[in-house]
Every structure is written in structure tokens, then in C-alpha cells.
Structure 1
């Protein structure tokens, strides 16, 4: 089968698609992957094409605030989406696949699939499209609205109206132009562990909770300095990925001082600037802190006592797979949802919004998270048993 995979966003949006592309190609399928530029994901051995947008640059230059995105919509965000929507049509037509598998942001994917007469499958890395009564759409509302939860999913579907002209312009090259109506997806895939999100009973049968798409690849060995640090005693890992708004130095201080209050050492992954080590702590004679820009989490989490992170879907699953508890410090979008979800399952302390993070709050949260170690270890065993890529490919080949 010829599969066109199309994704949009930053690293956490690209990694699952790259894993699926590599897995499907390894099982004899002809796969092409359309991706944003500069994702930072290992794409070796994959057939890839650019979708002509760099989400990492948008985040690095303009930050993560939705208000910032609104301010730069005309000059940056809008043109980037316009290029991506057009490139998705152009590259899919050139590849002539038997199936299109796409991220929800690639709004032209359903139309080009219909023009080619092939099915399309949508991938929800975060459950924002399929309504349920059990929880509101992540990133739309941060509290349970009971019987009104289902109505919150209309917000995500409104993106198509926002980019209507760009979609029509991109689809002008299709045979017959943009279809008047577009078929529903043949299936919806959610690369999410049922250990972290039990399947809502009101989802239709076409929606598949597959488990995370984690490749069975060797974990890279950390360098000698990191290995020596990991052997030095109990430690926690802190990372906020690409989240860089606010006071990174204050957050770094809160993490280190909270860890020290519990006799823990700190592996601080500074990422894109979300965490930084204050000068006075760098000059501390104690060697209980190691700050590095980034490391493969799979290599350093299994021996950790807990992880402090922003609550992105990819990081949530990586920490869960390692079997360690969480302290979630959400910034935006779906991160508060994951923080509440993990806490409700007994795998994490109650989340601390990044604007309310203090040393005192974090110290208390670390104490709560340490009490979740047994539950996190049990969940890790179950998450590691999942075969999300196999489940996803089985659905795709049956469509």
C-alpha cells in the first residue's frame, strides 16, 4: 500500500508520524512523510518531503502564547499555514497514494484524498476532535462541564472556517477544485495509552485508541559525564521542552531547591530556555545538579525518582513508559488536561500552572509525587506491553 503521511506542529507532532512511517515501511508499505521543517526528529531512512513551514522557528521567535500567535497571524502564522496547506495538496497529488493519514492541522488532506478517490485517516495525538461527554476538549476548557463537555469540541472544528480561503486556494489545483462536501475519515487513530486515558464509552467504533507509537529502537547511551551523574545517587529529571515563556531562572531555582528538600539530585534539561540554572547555584560546591540542553528521556528516566515536566503528550507517555511519577507544570493547550488526567489516575501530584510555580508549591508536589511511585511503576509495566504501532497499522490496512 502507498501511504501519504502528513503532519504539522513541533517535535511532539512529528515523532509519532515518523515512528509510524518507519514501522509501515518496515512492513513492506511504500510510505512518504510530509513534515514541517527543522523538527529535530530523526528521519534517517525515511522518504520525506517538506510542507514549507517551520513551527519551531515560530515558537522560538514569537513564543508560545496564543495572544502572540494572534498578533503575528498576518505576517507569520497565516502565511506559514497557507504554504503548508498548499504543499500538502501538491505533494500528495505527486505521490498518488492509496491512503492519506494526516494530522488535524493539515486541513487540505481530506479534500485531496477525496479527489484521488482514496480514504483518509485522521490522527489525534490529543483527543480534540472526537466529542465525548466524559471530558471537555483539551486546550479549550480546563474544567469539567458535565453534560456540556461535548459542545466544547466545536471549537477545534472551527479551524476549517478560519482557513476557508486558504483551503480553497490550495484545492484549486485538484481535479474539479475543492469538493463541495468531504467524506468523513475512514478511521480516527489516537496514539494514546489506555493506561493514561481510558476509552470513553461514547466514542464511535471508527475511533481507535491504539497505545503510544513508540519505536522498538535501541536507547542511545548518554555520554560519560551524564552516566557518572546518574550513578551518584537518587535524582529527578526536569524538562519543559520547547516551553520558554516566563522566568526560566526562577523555575530552575524552584526545581533544584525542591529536589534538595527531599535529598534528591537534579538532572536539569534546559531545552529551548524553559529552565535555566541561576549563577549562584552554578557556583555551589555541591555536585548535585547537572544542567544540559537535552538528552533522550528514555535513557535517563528509568532510574529517576520522578520527572517534572510541562505535560506535553509525548513527554507524558515517555515518563509513563519509564514507570516514574510526574509533577506536571502546564503552560498551555492540552498540558493542563494531561496534568489533571495523571493526577486523577494517581500517577502524579496535582498540576501546578507555570504562572503559580514556587519553590514551596513544587516542594510539596514532589512529596506528593513520591507517594505515587508504586502506581507509576505498575502503569509503566502495562504501557511497555502496548504495541501501538502494530495496532495502528492493522487499522490502516483494514480501511
Structure 2
């Protein structure tokens, strides 16, 4: 079976697809990944670029913001990716396409090729349920009816890029309706330990477990990070990934000072600019890097302070590392609420109101939650989301007449 995996976004949107690619290869399938061209996207699988760097896009959007950012940067980037994914699918002729929902032309090229496609939900945003609202749409539950309606927000993207979808149909010689054909299924890459399957989900929604990052090759590890993580004194990990905005220097200083008050060394990952520690707060007990492999640093960390993106939430929980969440946007408040209700974290901290006192108190609270986090970690380590997803893909492709 030839499987085209297509994704768009920052690191958290890309790395799970490489984990799935490895599982599909282990099951004997031929896999190609279409992904952004950021340097950290490459792995030992067949990869093609969709022609957009999300790191550069993120910096450009942050500098201007608003409708100008959409007009000058986001729309052109989307147009490039929506065209490239069509080209790659037509050229490679897969038996099935598994795609991030941002890639709105995948249903069009799947129709043209006569192959099934599946969508991927790295966080619950597409499959309606009355139990909770779509992540990133509403900040709390408003009851079953409103919760279900919130999932219609996903259709906004289709309307915003209707011209690109129409252009793809015309280029492929397809006539008739512009409405996107429904997928053969949805792969929800979320741990059932953290989010039990809603009772009202359809059978086409497959809660596979998250697609955790493959272990980092030992030879690729930064020596400073490896040595810091191997040190005897306990440390705090802090990182906000692709998030940026607000006073990144004050935020970083509060985390460093709060960690020191708790008797911890501090490993600070600056990411795309969410943390910018001033020189006055640095010292021998602080290591500042741009990014780190979570599978190496989280299992050894006493606590992790992070933005609450789906990937980091799952990585920390699986590692048995208590978290302090500082959500910025999108699905992050969803995960902050879920983990707080589950007793795995305390209340989330406001990214713009971090102080050393608040950070210190949150670290103490997180340490008290370690027994609950350990129980969750034990259950999550028994899950194999990529292998489960690979089996679902093979079953659906076979049932629809694919290879």
C-alpha cells in the first residue's frame, strides 16, 4: 500500500506524521511525507516539501499581524501548499492520502485519483460531540447543542480558500459541486487516557492514541543538553515552542527565578521567541537553547512549564513529568482545562502575569500531583498510537478497494 501523509504547520503539526510514517513502514507499506520545508522536518523517510517554511511564516505574521498578515503572507503560503499537495499526489499516485485538515485540496485530488482520504485531528476540532466544544473555538462548555455547533468553525477555512479549491478542481478537470467530499474516516491522534472517547462520536472517528515522537538518535543530541539532563541536581524544563508575543524577557526571568526558589536548575528552550531571558538572570544553573528533544529532557525533569500544545501535553504526561501550563492560544486553553479538571495540573498561569512567586507556587503544586501523573504515564506507555493508526488506515483502504 502506498500512503501519502500530508501535513502543514509548525513542529507540533509535523512530527506526529513522521511517527506515523515509521509505523506504516514497519507494517510493510510504502510511505511518502509531504511537509513544510523547515530544517527539523527531515527524517529517514521519503519527504517532499510543500514549499513553505512555517518558522519564517510565523516571524513574518508576528511582525505585522491582522488582515495584512493574512493578505501578504498566510494566503500566499496556503496557495503554495494547496497547489503543491495536489501536484505531489498526482505525481506519486498513492492508494490513500492521510492529511492535516489545513490541506483543503486533498479531498479534491483524492476524488480525481479515486482513492480514499482520511483527516487527522491532532486535537479535537472536526468531529462534533456534545460533551465538549471544539478545541480553540469556545473557552468552556455551553451544553451539548452549542458544543456541537462549535465544530462548524472548521468550515470557515473552506470558505476562506474556496478559490484555491475551485482552481484545483478545474486544473484536474473535475466539474460539479465545489463542496468537499467527506473523508473515509478521521484519525484522532489523542490519548484515550487523557481524553476518553465521547459516547456520541460516529464509528468513522478513530481515537488512536497520540503519535509520539520517535526517540532522538543519540548521535544527534547537543552535548550541552545531554550533559545538563544527566546532571545530578533536579531541573525545571520550560519551553513554549512556536509561541511568541508579550514580554518574553520578563516571562523568562520569572521562570528562572521561580525555579531557583524551588531549588531547581533551569533548562530554557527559547523556541520561536516565547522566552528571551535577560543576561542578568543567567548563571551556571541555567542552560538556554533554542529547542530540545522532549523524549530526552522531559523524563528527567522535575517539572515542565509549557504552553500546553497537544504534543507537549502528551509528551510530558507519558514521561510522568508534572506540568505547569501557560496557554497562549488555539487548542492550548482546551488542554489546560482538561488537565486541570483531571487533577493532573493546577490552574493555568497567565502568560502576561508571570511572577517568580506564582511560578514557585505552581511548581510546588505540580510536585504534589506526581502520583496522579505517574498513574497516567503508566497507562499511556501501554498505548501505541502510530501502530493503531496504521492498522486503521490499512483496514479502511482495503475496504474501499485500495491496495
Structure 2 CA distance, aligned partners of 1:69 and 1:89?
29
1:184-263 map, 5 Å: 184-214=182-212, 217=215, 220=218, 222-230=221-229, 231-263=231-263
Structure 1 CA distance, aligned partners of 2:207 and 2:192?
7
Does the 8 Å contact 2:124/2:188 carry over to 1?
A: yes
Structure 1 CA distance, aligned partners of 2:218 and 2:315?
15
If the length of structure 2 is used for normalisation, what is the TM-score?
0.92
**Residue matched to 1:318:** 315
Structure 1 CA distance, aligned partners of 2:223 and 2:75?
45
1:335 aligned to 2:332? yes
1:382 aligned to 2:400? no
Q: CA deviation at 1:176?
A: 2.5
Structure 2 CA distance, aligned partners of 1:8 and 1:225?
31
Structure 1 CA distance, aligned partners of 2:224 and 2:27?
38
Taking a change above 3 Å as real, the CA distance of residues 180 and 132 of structure 1, as seen in their structure-2 partners, is same
Taking a change above 3 Å as real, the CA distance of residues 49 and 371 of structure 1, as seen in their structure-2 partners, is same
Structure 1 CA distance, aligned partners of 2:393 and 2:128?
22
Number of matched residues? Answer: 393
**Residue matched to 1:49:** 48
Q: CA deviation at 1:149?
A: 1.0
**Structure 2, unpaired ranges of 5+:** 397-403
| 2:236 alignment partner, SS class | strand
Taking a change above 3 Å as real, the CA distance of residues 69 and 166 of structure 1, as seen in their structure-2 partners, is farther
| 2:327 alignment partner, SS class | coil
Structure 2 CA distance, aligned partners of 1:224 and 1:6?
33
Does the 8 Å contact 1:308/1:327 carry over to 2?
A: yes
| 1:192 alignment partner, SS class | coil
Q: CA deviation at 1:41?
A: 2.4
Q: Deviations over 1:353-382 (max 9, x none)?
A: 312323232222222111111111111111
Taking a change above 3 Å as real, the CA distance of residues 40 and 216 of structure 1, as seen in their structure-2 partners, is closer
Structure of greater relative contact order (alpha carbons < 8 Å, 6+ residues apart): 2
C-alpha RMSD of matched pairs (Å): 1.9
Does the 8 Å contact 1:320/1:376 carry over to 2?
A: yes
Name which of 158, 165, 168 aligns with 1:167: 165
**Residue matched to 2:294:** 297
Does the 8 Å contact 2:37/2:50 carry over to 1?
A: yes
Structure 1 CA distance, aligned partners of 2:189 and 2:39?
19
Q: CA deviation at 1:183?
A: 3.2
Structure 2 CA distance, aligned partners of 1:239 and 1:343?
19
**Structure 1, unpaired ranges of 5+:** none
**Residue matched to 2:119:** 122
Structure 2 CA distance, aligned partners of 1:342 and 1:248?
25
**Residue matched to 1:149:** 147
